[in-house]
Amino acid sequence: MRKVTKRAILILVLSEFLVCLGISLVIPVMPFIKNELHLTATDMGIMTSLFAFTQFVASPIIGRVSDRLGRKPVLVIGLFLYMLSEFLFAITNYLWMFNISRIVGGLSAAMVVPTAMAMAADITTPLQRAKVIGWLSAAFSGGLILGPGLGGLLAKIDYKAPFWVAGVMGLLSMIAMAMLLPAEKDLVHHHQQDSGQLPSNWRADLRKILTRSAVLLFIMILISSFGLQGFESIYSIYVNEVFQFSLNDIAIVLTFNGIISLFFQVVLFDRLVIWLQETRLIRYCFFLGFAGTVWIMMAHSKLEVMIATLIVFTAFDLLRPAITTLLTKMSPDNQGLLNGLNMSLTSVGNVIGPIISGSLLDWNYHYPYMVVAIFLLLSFATTYSIKQRRN
């Protein structure tokens, strides 16, 4: 890998980490905002959902724009919007401004996360791609994992401090992206239709990428994000009520999960892809997720629950980069559109997963995990329909 490519990948990884950090910084501050401004739970729910909804709507459109206009301008504008979103959240005490901030934040995430993935696919060879997408996925996960902890620490100074810090980091990241990210012509090994000619129209590109295997992979992206959020959103309540986990027990599990997740994504992911190829890795992850979920429902001790939880989270953490890596190999000329659809479907899963799991939890503690297990088992069976040529 060339030095200029390594520098570009480092900048992409840092920008993705920063945006995902900003997404999760708000989590520990929500109770302070709710109490300080006398907001309702509905107000807070709408504020949270606006981010995911904007990301869902904007991701495929922006992916298409980045295919036409180039990745770097989209990334720079996305980081500018990220900075703007954080500063808006920091300076206001009005609900409507918080909502605008979340909409701008969702738009920035839609511009940075899939575009960074698309650019990584553009500038790497198929053999390098699994490793780089593993790094980007680790940055994605790492930002979401570390955000609440960092936000909680900064909130001890002032409940708006996390957003001032994130805004300054966004400003510095935008400047670094604009000045240090090499020009795309110096990075891309191949150009779409020679020297930047505009790709075919939207419908033609959709028909081109939506092969049978690609459609199955997009469905699996939706199921994996639905499964992860459906599993994770009620996890604390479930293990506390059913297995009497303390806050300390839950913190230990989530901390170990963060460490194991980063290790698998940064160190082992590309080795697993080379060894198993993406299709079999996806298949095994769906099966392990299913087996771990069933094990949790049948467990009789805290230790069993902890081990099963780490298996489930690790399986989910490997699923997304494995599916993304395989998708990037299916249509080299439409990476922006592919990754935009990827992020859009992930947003849908992130919205409906907690809603469905929360509703099922009101009926019976085991129902949410039963539904997650059924979807994972069906996805495991579906992987046998995906065709992948060996390199």
Q: Which residue has the tokens 């790094």?
A: 135
- pLDDT single digits (tens) 365-386: 899 899 999 999 998 998 888 7
354 touches 124 (CB < 8 A): no
Residues 6+ apart with CB under 8 A from 372: 227, 230, 231, 293, 357
Q: Can you tell me the distance from the alpha carbon of 376 to that of 221, in angstroms, rounded to the nearest whole number? A: 11
Domains identified in the chain and CATH numbers: 1-186 (1.20.1250.20), 199-383 (1.20.1250.20)
pTM comes to 0.70
Closest CA to 117 of 90, 136, 103: 136
Amino acid 256 reads F
292 touches 315 (CB < 8 A): yes
In DSSP notation, 141-180 reads: HHHHHHHHHHHHHHHTT-TTHHHHHHHHHHHHHHHHHHHH
Q: Which residues of the chain have pLDDT under 70?
A: 1, 27-28, 30-31, 41, 45, 145, 148-149, 185-210, 247, 331-336, 387-391
Q: Which residue has the tokens 């500038």?
A: 123
